[in-house]
Amino acid sequence: MRARFAGVGHYVPERIVRNQDLESIMDTTDEWIVERTGIHERRFVREGEGTSEQGLHAARAALKAAGLTPQDIDFIIFATLSPDYMFPGCGALLQEKLGCGTIGALDVRTQCTGFVYGLAVADSMIRAGMYRRILLVGAETQSMGLNLSTEGRDMSVIFGDGAGAAVLVAGDDDGPGVLDTVLHSEGSHAKELWMEVPTCLVPTTRTIELVNEGRHFPQMNGREVFKHATRRFVEAVDEVLARIGKTRDDIDLLVPHQANKRISDAVGERLGLPPARLVQNVQRYGNTTAASIPIALSEAIEQGRAKPGQLLILVAFGSGFTWGASAVRW
C-alpha cells in the first residue's frame, strides 16, 4: 500500500492586509516589499482565532472533498510552528474540535517543512498497515507573533496566516499516491532562522527580561536563507526524482513551499520549469510556513492544474535548517 490523497482543502482568514496597510505602521513601501519578496498581500486572523481553529476549517474542507466524516479518520498529524499553546499540541485540540473519538494525534514541529515531513510520517504509517485514513494538517497563526514595526519589518512583511489539510488513505502500490520522500536537516544553521524565546535554557522567571529585549520575535539572516534555500530546493527535487527513476522533464507540477517569490522563481529557473508547471500564490498569502504547500496544492486542484496521472513534486526548505521533497502520482 501507499498513501493516496483522497481530499485536500484550505482556509485563509477573511482579513486581507495589503502592503499599503503596512506602510502606515512601519517605514516600508509596497515597491520595497514586492521587489524583495513578490508579496502584495497576506491574511491575518482576528484575535482569538487560533491555529487549531484554522486547522479545523481546512480539515472540514478536506474531509468534504474526500467524502468522509471525522469518525472515518484513524489518526491526525498536525504541522505548525505557531501552536495555540506551548502544550498541549494542536493535534489533540483538533481531535476534540472535530469530534473524532480518542484517535491518536501527533504534532510535527519542523516549521516550513512540516507538511512534507508530516506526509512522510503519514505515508510510512499507511505503508506499515498501522492506519488506513490519516488527516494531515498544516496551519499557522503568525500575525500574533510578529514585530509589526520598522525594527521588525524584514520579517513581518513576509508572513501570513492560513491552513491547509489533506486526507490520506491507503491505496494500491501501483496506483496514485506518494511515490517517495526525501528528508534532510542541518542544525549548524539553526540560528540563521529562529525564534529564541520562549526557551527552557533559562528559568521561566527570566522570560520577561528576554521579552523586553525583543528576543521573542522571529529572526532571520535573509541572505543565508536565500542562498541555502535555492540550493537545497533543487537538490531535494533531483534526489527524489532519482529515487523514483524520473527526471526534471517528467515533472508536471512543482508545488514548493511559498517562502518568497524570488526563491521560487530561482528554483523554477534552475530546474528548467516554465511558469505553467510551477505553483505560486505567495503574492496573495505571504509565507504561511507549514500551511503553504497544502494551501497551494488545494488551489491548484480547484484551478484544474493538478490532474489524474500527473507527477507532482512537493518541496520545502525552512528553519532548522530542514528540507525535503515528496514525489506524488496524482
Catalytic residue among 112, 228, 260, 281: 112
- Whether 257 sits among the annotated catalytic residues: the reply is yes
Catalytic residue among 19, 260, 281, 287: 287
Instruction: Read off the amino acid at residue 139.
Output: A
Strands lying side by side in the sheet with 133-140: 2-11, 162-171, 133-140, 75-79, 104-108
| Dihedral in degrees, nearest 10, Cα atoms 316, 181, 119, 273 | 40
Catalytic residue among 10, 19, 257, 281: 257
DSSP 145-181: GS--SSTTHHHHTTB--EEEEEEEEEE-TTSSEEEEE
Residue pair 186/324 in contact (Cβ under 8 Å)? The answer is no
Q: Which helix (H) or strand (E) holds 139?
A: strand 133-140
Cis, peptide link before residue 13, omega less than 30° from 0: no
Instruction: Read off the amino acid at residue 255.
Output: V
What does the alpha-carbon distance between residue 321 and residue 310 come to, in Å, rounded to a whole number? 30
Instruction: Read off the amino acid at residue 42.
Output: R
Residues contacting 52, CB < 8 A, separation 6+: 78, 83, 84, 90, 93, 94, 97, 139
DSSP 266-294: HHHHHHT--GGGB---HHHH-B-GGGHHH
- Whether 287 sits among the annotated catalytic residues: the reply is yes
Return the number of other C-beta atoms located less than 10 Å from residue 200's C-beta.
Answer: 7
What does the alpha-carbon distance between residue 51 and residue 97 come to, in Å, rounded to a whole number? 12
Q: Please work out, in degrees rounded to the nearest 5, the angle formed at the alpha carbon of residue 291 by the alpha carbons of 184 and 180.
A: 40
What does the alpha-carbon distance between residue 325 and residue 96 come to, in Å, rounded to a whole number? 31
Q: Which residues are catalytic?
A: 112, 257, 287
